[in-house]
Chains A and B, each alone.
Chain A
Amino acid sequence: MTRVVLVPGVLALLPEYAGLEDPVAELRAASLAAVGWLGGEVTVLADAQGARVGAYLLAATSRSGDDPSYLVVGNGSAKRTEKAPGHFDERAEEFDRRLGESLRAGRPAVDVALARELWASTDAIVELAELDDDLGEGQVDYDDAPHGVQYWVVRWNSDS
């Protein structure tokens, strides 16, 4: 059995960006719980910034077991609201809905051109799909956009 987890590459999760209050407390809890479910050795799929978030989450969890494990770092659109980093784009919600559905179904499908326009971080999700295009149904531990950016935390138990 292969264990796969998706988390968003949120810089606010990192210790160097910690405030007195945690603006992503629920996301942090869901991410740590999901990452903690992975096996002892984890392959990270992420860009350079995402890899730092991945490294932090891995170091913050004690994991064991031999199941092959993957930590994928990616997120949806950053143009969800007027106050979002990328401001409001009316296409964002539908883009995220479709991507979210494909993640839930374990068949990640990314419109790469639109992802770029909507400031979604999907390179690692595309890489995941290339490794395994049928992960089985995902368990969605987190699905929200509290700061104008769409985040998911998803776990898959893949038989392949």
Chain B
Amino acid sequence: MTLKLGRSAFADDAMLMMAIVNRTPDSFFDRGATWEEDKAFDRVARVVAEGAEIVDSGGIKAAPGVEIDEAEERARVVDFVARVRESFPALVISVDTWRASVGDAVCGAGADLLNDAWGGADPELVDVAAQHDAAIVCTHTGGVTPRTRPYRIEYDDVVRAAIDDTVAYAERALAAGVDRASIVIDPAHDFGKNTFHSLEITRRLDEMVATGWPMLVSLSNKDFVGETLDLPVGERLIGTLASTALCALAGARIYRVHQVVETRQTVDMVNSIAGRRPPRRAIRGIQ
């Protein structure tokens, strides 16, 4: 089905790259590389050149730490969104926030998509999305408080729980007036989930795709990859791409990534294997 992300629309089967450009001094992978606004802006230009259709910026790292209040969060992202919007009119701008007030401010500045990593912690976010005709990502987190780590969390069936929660959130967004084509679900690997849960979610992703809601996956360099292979943060690209390939085979539509080029190649390769995409240029043996 068509994906309508704010100002932009994408065809039925398009698979999109959402490049992470954080506005934090301390996110786990980029560790402040784009904290300075000019550096962040340069990265936006770079990922756009690499083919990213979406840029996702957040002002608060997912891990626990110093509290960042609404004013500080707005200061980190709103002006940046305005600057990016002006320079890249066709780019989908996503903001990673759970707060309705921040969502409202960034949509006012030109954001197209509200990426709520914390499963609807602020129930008014859906209203903000509807008011601005913006898109929204509905995640499963097992109901944890924002910026907390999972501790001895268990599920009878983590996939069932992820489906139930994300679909409920999606339907709440629909009821609030968000366009059906603007609602995306995301199992949110590692959020409220241990490595076994994240592996199972990946293994059974087809069940979640079968709900019919377009899916986003955020796998990039996460701890479930690190624990599976016993590799530190900087060495998880291969494990991430292996996970990406399975998610692509299952039909995930949007990939939230640090590495655009590598992920695009992985997803394109899988789509061609799956018969959804012709090879780019074939002549060998058929000339």
Seen from chain A, the residues whose Cβ lies within 8 Å of a Cβ on chain B are 9, 11, 16-17, 19, 21, 49, 78, 82, 84-87, 119
Evaluate contact between B152 and A86: CB separation under 8 angstroms. Answer: no
- Cβ–Cβ < 8 Å partners of B64 in chain A: 86-87
Take A17-B196, A19-B227, A21-B230 as given contacts and tell me if A119 and B151 are in contact as well, using a CB distance cutoff of 8 Å: yes
Does B285 lie at the interface of the complex (its beta carbon under 8 Å from any beta carbon of A)?
no
- Cβ–Cβ < 8 Å partners of B65 in chain A: 82, 87
- Cβ–Cβ < 8 Å partners of A16 in chain B: 196
Tell me the count of chain B residues lying within 8 A, CB to CB, of chain A. Answer: 12
Cα distance, A143 to B151, chains bound together (Å)? 20
Closest chain A residue to B149 by CB distance? Answer: A85
Total A-B residue pairs with C-beta atoms closer than 8 Å? 26
- Cβ–Cβ < 8 Å partners of B227 in chain A: 19
Evaluate contact between B152 and A11: CB separation under 8 angstroms. Answer: yes
Cα distance, A16 to B158, chains bound together (Å)? 15
Does B150 lie at the interface of the complex (its beta carbon under 8 Å from any beta carbon of A)?
yes
Cα distance, A91 to B130, chains bound together (Å)? 44
Cα distance, A82 to B148, chains bound together (Å)? 12
Closest chain B residue to A88 by CB distance? Answer: B64
Take A19-B227, A21-B230, A87-B65 as given contacts and tell me if A49 and B154 are in contact as well, using a CB distance cutoff of 8 Å: yes
CB distance from B185 to the nearest CB of A (A): 26
CB 8 Å contact bits of B134-163 with A (1 = contact, 0 = none): 000000000000001111101000000000
- Cβ–Cβ < 8 Å partners of B230 in chain A: 21
- Cβ–Cβ < 8 Å partners of A85 in chain B: 149-152
- Cβ–Cβ < 8 Å partners of A21 in chain B: 230
CB distance from B147 to the nearest CB of A (A): 8
Evaluate contact between A78 and B154: CB separation under 8 angstroms. Answer: no
Determine which residue in B65, B148, B152, B154 has the highest number of CB atoms from chain A within 10 A of its CB, and name it. Answer: B152
Closest 6 A/B residue pairs (Cβ)? A87-B64, A85-B151, A85-B149, A11-B152, A78-B151, A49-B152
Cα distance, A19 to B230, chains bound together (Å)? 10
CB distance from B186 to the nearest CB of A (A): 23
Cα distance, A97 to B224, chains bound together (Å)? 33
Contact of B151 among A17, A19, A82, A86 (CB under 8 A): A86
Cα distance, A86 to B196, chains bound together (Å)? 20
CB distance from A25 to the nearest CB of B (A): 15
CB 8 Å contact bits of B213-251 with A (1 = contact, 0 = none): 000000000000001001000000000000000000000
Closest chain A residue to B195 by CB distance? Answer: A19
CB distance from B87 to the nearest CB of A (A): 37
CB distance from B155 to the nearest CB of A (A): 13
Determine which residue in B151, B227, B230 has the highest number of CB atoms from chain A within 10 A of its CB, and name it. Answer: B151
- Cβ–Cβ < 8 Å partners of B149 in chain A: 84-87
Cα distance, A17 to B194, chains bound together (Å)? 10
Cα distance, A84 to B151, chains bound together (Å)? 9
Cα distance, A21 to B74, chains bound together (Å)? 44
Closest chain B residue to A50 by CB distance? Answer: B152
CB distance from A50 to the nearest CB of B (A): 10
CB distance from B203 to the nearest CB of A (A): 15
- Cβ–Cβ < 8 Å partners of A84 in chain B: 149
CB distance from B256 to the nearest CB of A (A): 23
- Cβ–Cβ < 8 Å partners of B151 in chain A: 78, 85-86, 119
- Cβ–Cβ < 8 Å partners of B152 in chain A: 9, 11, 49, 85
Q: Known A-B contacts: A85-B151, A86-B64. Give 19 more (CB < 8 A).
A: A11-B152, A11-B154, A16-B196, A17-B194, A17-B196, A19-B227, A21-B230, A49-B152, A49-B154, A78-B151, A82-B65, A84-B149, A85-B150, A85-B152, A86-B149, A86-B151, A87-B65, A87-B148, A119-B151
